[in-house]
Amino acid sequence: MASPTSGSTAQLTSTAPSASDGATNSRATWRPGRLVRCAGLAAALFGGLHAANPPQATFGITTLTPPRLDLNPHPGYWPRHRLWQGIPGIERAPGGRLWATWYAGPLQEGRGQNYQLLVTSDNDGRTWSKPVAVFDPTRQLLGGDGSDPHLWLDPNGRLWWFVHRVMPSPGLHPRSCWGFFTDEPDAVRPQWRGPVFAGHGNSLNKETVLADGTWLHMGDPLGRGEKPAAPEVATGAHLYRFEGYDKPWVHHGHATFKDSPGPGTEHMVVERRDGSLWMLARIPKGIAQAFSTDKGRTWREIEPFTHAFGLGTRFFFRRLLSGSLLLVVNDHPKARANMTAMLSPDEGRTWPFKLVIDERQAVSYPDGTQDPAGAIYITYDRGRYNFDEQEILFAKITEADIRAGKLVSPQSRLKQVINKLRDDGGGVRFTGEAAEMVKEFQRLSTGNAAASRPTP
């Protein structure tokens, strides 16, 4: 296995998975100029096809056709035009610039027309930009839908933005993850390179770097009855391995959990001091765990990590610079509430230190990063569909704060707003509006279908 290096890469060249990964027409090299010129025409001609039955004529475009970014997103992506938002990620560039990404759209998650956006801050999160880049599959070629993105600063100082597309195409699993990266993470509008294929399905959690230099990427195929299944397996907590900036991430191994019959493991991995790997994964009634002694190729599940908190939701699990382990989770027996940072100084055997980041209801889906000075940035969402909530938030804390159970560091702060839809005229008019809209659409669709049937 080639170890990660900062070697050269062909700019804006993408490589899709090889035929051995179960795909056909799988290697694709593209030139962004040609793609950009064609995108407008394709959107005009075929933009509505994805809303109906999947087209059989794909014009050579498949799940594995590399996507593109919109690096000059128009005001249609501003907050006032969103009905919902959530599932954020955060990263800090070496020079201090903060980046945040999340998933948003005009109705609900998983209901179509969703996109992934990127914003930035040059003043430690006190103010944030409008979207400086957008990945919107609904406006590209034969369309599709967006899903959970994430950010990661790799050991060579390159910033990755991983995005996801759901696009039915004959004979291929519809979900794919793609990684764009930049050498300019401190620029307000950096030049992005790639994309490179990063597996089938979703990947919303950060990569793990092992002591031997291996980079591991988390992937979840999300096999909700979608046909065909991903080339590996329909469900499970998957790992992909980095092979180079101009190569696709390669499937490395996977774990399965008996208490997680469906998709959505949202797993994270840390390397323990003895060289073994420890995986935590989402299950409906808590957090599952598994261990690997062969660098992640095979896994052994043991009893769940907990049934007491973190039920059916995302968490954040990471080793800090000090060597302590950090777990950010909903410390509540039933609800997505009481977002809490927990610290373990003994490789996860005990978690004696806790800091409540946000005690309110409907707070969920944390992601985080740590800067070289030790500051920890945690982002999360609040009230995705609730009137006068619908926030993307972050906290800046330190390990000392967690050990003290309160803020003791001068620069620490909680409940910092990255974006709130109502502040910009967006969001729902009342809690439950999005769900009512879905029901009304379904009622109308059923009525239209009935009206279109010939009278016997």
**Distance separating alpha carbons of residues 52 and 10, to the nearest angstrom:** 37
Cβ(395)–Cβ(414) below 8 Å: yes
pLDDT class for 62, splitting at 50, 70, 90? confident
SS3 string, the chain, reads: CCCCCCCCCCCCCCCCCCHHHCCCCCCCCCCHHHHHHHHHHHHHHHCCHHHCCCCCCCCCCCCCCCCCCECCCCHHHCHHHCCEEEEEEEEECCCCCEEEEEEEECCCCCCCCCEEEEEEECCCCCCCCCCCEEECHHHCCCCCEECCCEEEECCCCCEEEEEEEECCECCECCEEEEEEEECCCCCCCCCCEEEEEEEECECCCCCEECCCCCEEEEEECCCCCCCCCCCCCCCCEEEEECCCCCCCCEEEEEECCCCCCCCCCCCEEEECCCCCEEEEEEECCEEEEEEECCCCCCCEECCCCECCCCCCCCCEEEECCCCCEEEEEECCCCCCEEEEEEEECCCCCCCCEEEEEEEEECEEEEEEEECCCCCEEEEEEECCCCCCCCEEEEEEECHHHHHHCCCCCCCCEEEEEEEEHHHHCCCCCCCCHHHHHHHHHHHHHHHHHHHHCCCC
Lowest mean pLDDT among 3-12, 104-113, 176-185, 343-352: 3-12
Sheet strands side by side (includes 363-370): 363-370, 376-382, 391-397, 413-420
Q: What is the pLDDT of residue 26?
A: 32
Q: Would you kindly state where each structural domain of the chain is located, as residue ranges?
A: 19-446
Find the mean pLDDT for residues 3-10.
Answer: 37
Cis ω on the peptide bond leading into residue 185 (within 30° of 0)?
Answer: no
CA atoms within 13 A on the CB side of 108: 14
**Distance separating alpha carbons of residues 307 and 316, to the nearest angstrom:** 17
**Residue 211 identity:** A
Q: What is the pLDDT of residue 32?
A: 35
Phi first, then psi, for residue 403 (nearest 5°) are -65, -35
Give the residue with greater pLDDT, 454 vs 428. Answer: 428
Lowest mean pLDDT among 113-127, 141-155, 259-273: 259-273
Q: Give the CATH number of domain 19-446.
A: 2.120.10.10
pLDDT tens, position by position, 279-335: 999 999 999 999 999 999 999 999 999 999 999 999 999 999 999 999 999 999 999
Q: Is the pLDDT of residue 440 over 90?
A: yes
pLDDT class for 48, splitting at 50, 70, 90? very low
Percent of the chain with pLDDT over 90: 71
Q: What is the pLDDT of residue 224?
A: 58
pLDDT class for 112, splitting at 50, 70, 90? confident
Q: What is the pLDDT of residue 61?
A: 83
Find the mean pLDDT for residues 346-372.
Answer: 98
Q: What is the pLDDT of residue 232?
A: 66
**Distance separating alpha carbons of residues 166 and 120, to the nearest angstrom:** 26
**Distance separating alpha carbons of residues 203 and 218, to the nearest angstrom:** 6
Residues forming beta bridges with residue 117, ordered by sequence position: 102, 134
Most confident of 16-30, 54-68, 223-237, 433-447: 433-447
pLDDT tens, position by position, 220-277: 887 556 667 666 666 789 999 999 999 999 999 999 898 775 668 999 999 999 999 9
Q: Is the pLDDT of residue 10 over 90?
A: no
pLDDT tens, position by position, 175-229: 899 999 999 999 999 999 999 999 988 899 999 999 999 999 999 887 556 667 6
Cα distance between the two ends of the chain = 66
Find the mean pLDDT for residues 379-390.
Answer: 98
Find the mean pLDDT for residues 57-78.
Answer: 89
Longest dimension (CA), the chain: 76
List the structure tokens of 176: 């794919």
Q: What is the pLDDT of residue 414?
A: 98
Q: What is the pLDDT of residue 13?
A: 35
Q: What is the pLDDT of residue 327?
A: 98
Q: What is the pLDDT of residue 56?
A: 52
Give the residue with greater pLDDT, 62 vs 85. Answer: 85
Lowest mean pLDDT among 167-171, 255-259, 409-413: 167-171
Q: What is the pLDDT of residue 317?
A: 98
Cβ(133)–Cβ(162) below 8 Å: no
Average pLDDT across the chain, whole number: 86
Lowest mean pLDDT among 13-22, 51-60, 78-87, 386-395: 13-22
